[in-house]
Amino acid sequence: MRLLIQRVSEASVSIGNDTVARIRTGLLVLIGIKKDDGRAEADFLLEKATQLRIFPDENGKMNRNVMEAGGAMLIVSQFTLYGNCRKGRRPSFDLAAPPEQARDLYDYFIAAARRGPAPVECGVFQASMQVRSVNDGPVTLWLDSDELQKPQRQVTHGA
Protein backbone atom coordinates (compact mmCIF):
# COMPACT_ATOMS: atom_id res chain seq x y z
CA MET A 1 0.00 0.00 0.00
CA ARG A 2 1.19 3.49 -0.81
CA LEU A 3 0.14 6.81 0.60
CA LEU A 4 1.08 10.16 -0.87
CA ILE A 5 0.45 12.64 1.91
CA GLN A 6 0.33 16.40 1.56
CA ARG A 7 -0.01 18.85 4.41
CA VAL A 8 -2.65 21.26 3.13
CA SER A 9 -4.27 24.51 4.15
CA GLU A 10 -7.28 23.36 2.14
CA ALA A 11 -8.27 20.57 -0.23
CA SER A 12 -11.40 19.45 -2.04
CA VAL A 13 -12.75 16.79 -4.36
CA SER A 14 -15.28 17.57 -7.07
CA ILE A 15 -17.14 15.43 -9.57
CA GLY A 16 -18.32 17.59 -12.41
CA ASN A 17 -19.64 20.78 -10.84
CA ASP A 18 -20.38 19.19 -7.45
CA THR A 19 -17.96 19.38 -4.53
CA VAL A 20 -18.24 16.04 -2.72
CA ALA A 21 -15.61 16.60 -0.01
CA ARG A 22 -13.67 19.51 1.43
CA ILE A 23 -11.27 20.13 4.31
CA ARG A 24 -9.34 23.10 5.60
CA THR A 25 -6.09 22.48 7.50
CA GLY A 26 -5.09 18.85 7.40
CA LEU A 27 -3.82 16.01 5.27
CA LEU A 28 -4.68 15.13 1.70
CA VAL A 29 -4.06 11.37 1.58
CA LEU A 30 -3.88 9.71 -1.83
CA ILE A 31 -4.02 5.93 -1.35
CA GLY A 32 -2.84 3.25 -3.77
CA ILE A 33 -3.63 -0.38 -3.05
CA LYS A 34 -1.52 -3.27 -4.31
CA LYS A 35 -2.73 -6.80 -5.11
CA ASP A 36 -1.26 -8.39 -1.99
CA ASP A 37 -2.25 -5.64 0.47
CA GLY A 38 -4.50 -6.38 3.41
CA ARG A 39 -5.79 -4.86 6.61
CA ALA A 40 -2.41 -5.12 8.32
CA GLU A 41 -0.89 -2.73 5.76
CA ALA A 42 -3.89 -0.40 6.03
CA ASP A 43 -3.71 -0.30 9.84
CA PHE A 44 0.05 0.23 9.83
CA LEU A 45 -0.02 3.10 7.30
CA LEU A 46 -3.03 4.78 8.86
CA GLU A 47 -1.30 4.81 12.24
CA LYS A 48 1.88 6.15 10.65
CA ALA A 49 0.05 8.87 8.70
CA THR A 50 -2.04 10.13 11.60
CA GLN A 51 0.95 10.27 13.93
CA LEU A 52 3.34 12.08 11.55
CA ARG A 53 4.56 15.21 13.28
CA ILE A 54 4.47 17.53 10.27
CA PHE A 55 2.42 20.47 11.55
CA PRO A 56 4.12 23.45 13.19
CA ASP A 57 4.03 24.05 16.93
CA GLU A 58 4.04 27.49 18.57
CA ASN A 59 7.74 27.86 17.64
CA GLY A 60 7.20 26.95 13.99
CA LYS A 61 8.88 23.54 14.38
CA MET A 62 7.19 20.53 12.75
CA ASN A 63 6.15 18.93 16.00
CA ARG A 64 2.38 18.27 15.84
CA ASN A 65 0.34 15.55 14.19
CA VAL A 66 -2.92 16.19 12.34
CA MET A 67 -5.10 15.83 15.44
CA GLU A 68 -2.91 18.13 17.56
CA ALA A 69 -3.07 20.71 14.76
CA GLY A 70 -6.87 20.58 14.73
CA GLY A 71 -6.80 19.25 11.19
CA ALA A 72 -8.84 16.85 9.12
CA MET A 73 -8.04 14.18 6.54
CA LEU A 74 -9.23 13.98 2.93
CA ILE A 75 -8.68 10.43 1.64
CA VAL A 76 -8.76 9.77 -2.12
CA SER A 77 -8.25 6.44 -3.87
CA GLN A 78 -5.59 6.63 -6.57
CA PHE A 79 -4.58 3.39 -8.29
CA THR A 80 -2.05 5.31 -10.42
CA LEU A 81 0.29 5.36 -7.40
CA TYR A 82 1.15 1.85 -8.59
CA GLY A 83 1.86 2.95 -12.15
CA ASN A 84 5.10 1.44 -13.42
CA CYS A 85 6.80 3.66 -16.01
CA ARG A 86 10.07 1.74 -16.39
CA LYS A 87 9.33 0.40 -19.86
CA GLY A 88 7.71 2.10 -22.80
CA ARG A 89 5.58 5.21 -22.68
CA ARG A 90 2.37 3.84 -21.23
CA PRO A 91 2.33 3.09 -17.49
CA SER A 92 1.61 -0.47 -16.43
CA PHE A 93 -0.77 -0.94 -13.52
CA ASP A 94 -0.17 -4.67 -13.06
CA LEU A 95 0.66 -4.27 -9.35
CA ALA A 96 -2.53 -2.36 -8.52
CA ALA A 97 -5.29 -4.33 -6.84
CA PRO A 98 -8.37 -5.11 -8.93
CA PRO A 99 -11.29 -2.74 -8.22
CA GLU A 100 -13.29 -5.14 -6.01
CA GLN A 101 -10.34 -5.82 -3.71
CA ALA A 102 -9.21 -2.20 -3.71
CA ARG A 103 -12.72 -0.93 -2.85
CA ASP A 104 -12.96 -3.24 0.16
CA LEU A 105 -9.59 -2.10 1.53
CA TYR A 106 -10.27 1.57 0.71
CA ASP A 107 -13.59 1.36 2.61
CA TYR A 108 -11.81 -0.36 5.50
CA PHE A 109 -9.12 2.36 5.58
CA ILE A 110 -11.76 5.12 5.66
CA ALA A 111 -13.80 3.38 8.38
CA ALA A 112 -10.67 2.93 10.50
CA ALA A 113 -9.69 6.58 9.96
CA ARG A 114 -13.16 7.71 11.02
CA ARG A 115 -12.71 5.92 14.36
CA GLY A 116 -9.85 8.34 15.09
CA PRO A 117 -10.17 11.83 16.53
CA ALA A 118 -9.56 13.76 13.27
CA PRO A 119 -12.52 14.46 10.97
CA VAL A 120 -12.39 12.45 7.73
CA GLU A 121 -13.72 13.27 4.27
CA CYS A 122 -13.23 11.10 1.21
CA GLY A 123 -13.38 10.97 -2.54
CA VAL A 124 -15.62 8.63 -4.52
CA PHE A 125 -14.05 5.28 -5.41
CA GLN A 126 -13.49 4.80 -9.18
CA ALA A 127 -15.00 8.21 -10.02
CA SER A 128 -13.33 10.68 -12.32
CA MET A 129 -12.56 13.38 -9.77
CA GLN A 130 -10.96 16.78 -9.73
CA VAL A 131 -8.77 17.10 -6.65
CA ARG A 132 -7.73 20.59 -5.63
CA SER A 133 -5.27 21.33 -2.87
CA VAL A 134 -3.15 24.08 -1.43
CA ASN A 135 -0.01 22.30 -0.28
CA ASP A 136 1.15 23.98 2.93
CA GLY A 137 4.90 24.29 3.23
CA PRO A 138 5.04 22.56 0.82
CA VAL A 139 5.13 19.30 2.75
CA THR A 140 4.64 16.11 0.71
CA LEU A 141 5.59 12.64 1.97
CA TRP A 142 5.50 9.17 0.47
CA LEU A 143 4.69 6.16 2.67
CA ASP A 144 5.01 2.68 1.22
CA SER A 145 4.26 -0.36 3.36
CA ASP A 146 6.97 -2.30 1.50
CA GLU A 147 9.63 0.30 2.33
CA LEU A 148 8.80 1.08 5.96
CA GLN A 149 10.10 -0.81 8.91
CA LYS A 150 7.12 -2.30 10.65
CA PRO A 151 7.21 -2.70 14.41
CA GLN A 152 8.29 -6.15 15.48
CA ARG A 153 5.79 -8.20 17.40
CA GLN A 154 6.95 -9.35 20.80
CA VAL A 155 6.65 -13.04 21.41
CA THR A 156 5.90 -14.13 24.92
CA HIS A 157 6.42 -17.65 26.06
CA GLY A 158 4.06 -19.22 28.58
CA ALA A 159 5.50 -20.60 31.81
pLDDT at 148: 74
Whether residue 153 is contained in a domain is answered as no
**What is the CATH number for 86?**
3.50.80.10
Annotated catalytic residue: which of 6, 50, 79, 109? 79
DSSP 92-136: B-TTBPPHHHHHHHHHHHHHHHHTSSS-EEE--TT---EEEEEEE
Q: Spot the catalytic one: 19, 80, 126, 130.
A: 80
Give the burial class of 85: count Cβ atoms within 10 A of its Cβ; 0-12 exposed, 13-18 middle, 19 or more buried. Answer: exposed
Q: Which stretches of the chain drop beneath a pLDDT of 70?
A: 150-159
> What is the structure's pLDDT at 86?
93
The answer to the question of residue 60 being in a domain is: yes
Q: Could you tell me the residue range of the domain that residue 110 belongs to? A: 2-144
pLDDT of res. 154: 52
The number of folded domains in the chain is: 1
**Radius of gyration for the alpha carbons in the chain, expressed in angstroms and rounded:** 17
Active site residue 55: no
Catalytic residue among 6, 50, 55, 78: 78
pLDDT digits (tens, 9 = 90+) for 23-33: 999 999 999 99
109 given a catalytic annotation: no
Residue-level pLDDT at 159: 45
What's this model's pTM, rounded to 2 decimal places? 0.91
Known catalytic residue at 80: yes
pLDDT at 20: 98
